[in-house]
Amino acid sequence: MALEEIVANRQAGEMHDMLNGYPSDGEGAPVPPPSRSALDAEAVKLAYRRWANVYDLAFGGISRFGRLRAVEAVNGLPGTDVLEVGVGTGLALPHYNADKVITGIDLSTDMLAKARERVQRDKLATVHDLLEMDAEATRFADNSFDIAVAMFVASVVPHPRKLLCELKRVVRPGGYILFVNHFLAPGGVRGAVEHAMARASRSLGWHPDFAMESLLPPNDLARAYIQPVPPMGLFTLVTLENLPD
């Protein structure tokens, strides 16, 4: 295998791991079998225990624009109480405006520990709490937040629609729910390429086939505000007003 091919496979593998939450064999081929639904709570905790120390270095760069766009969008929305689900190592936390009050949740103790270190180190006064909690089944009361944001999380949880339902429950009516993620392109050349790549995903070590429809039912899909973000529109920012179905 040519050196460029090895490097490309390795990068694809790392990207795949980050977006899907489980490790590759280092050459890009995923282990265990690449089923997102198999990624239960224990698997997520195990995978992110491994990633916690290197996450910022390995994934912080490529995902930076998407994260900044999402936080910028949150900052521009009305309301103060923000829930960040899958807060990870807290890379987004320094970027919220001072008038926002952030509650971060994550399943991974190890990722949360990094986020807590960041809050202490950078004296982040906007962060109200960081809690270990499952984003698909939180312990928050109905209508607890003005805004919920999930960055690079929707394709990691086992039941994306359940995540959406939970966020609709904890965000007040008229509040906002935002996702930034890689989604399968709806069509065109990129869509065709991603479908072709998905068929070869085991050898590529990359799952480009997380469709927006897996997350958003048709009604939400029709009214969501959808913006591509750099690099090269690889990620998409989805903003949804929390209106009754």
Ligand X SMILES: C[S@@+](CC[C@H](N)C(=O)[O-])C[C@H]1O[C@@H](n2cnc3c(N)ncnc32)[C@H](O)[C@@H]1O
Binding mask 2-41 for ligand X (x = CB under 6 A): ----------------x-----------------------
Non-local (6+) Cβ contacts of 103 within 8 A are 81, 82, 83, 84, 128, 129, 130, 131, 145
Side chain identity at 163, as an amino acid letter?
L
CB 90, min distance to ligand X, A: 8
Q: What is the DSSP letter of 80?
A: S
Please, what's the largest Cα pairwise distance for the chain? 55
Min dist CB 113 to ligand X, Å, is 11
Residue 236 touching ligand X (CB under 6 A):
no
x/- string (CB under 6 A) for ligand X, residues 111-130? x-------------------
Stretch that binds ligand X, among 26-34, 93-101, 131-139, 219-227 (CB under 6 A): 131-139
Give residue 170's identity as a one-letter amino acid code. V
Count of residues binding ligand X (CB under 6 A)?
Answer: 24
Pick out residues in 64-83 that bind ligand X (CB under 6 A): 67
Helix ranges restricted to H, the chain:
3-20, 41-51, 55-59, 64-75, 109-121, 160-170, 188-199, 201-204, 212-215, 218-223
Q: Which residues bind ligand X (CB under 6 A)?
A: 18, 44, 48, 63, 67, 85-88, 91-92, 105-108, 111, 134-136, 151-153, 156-157
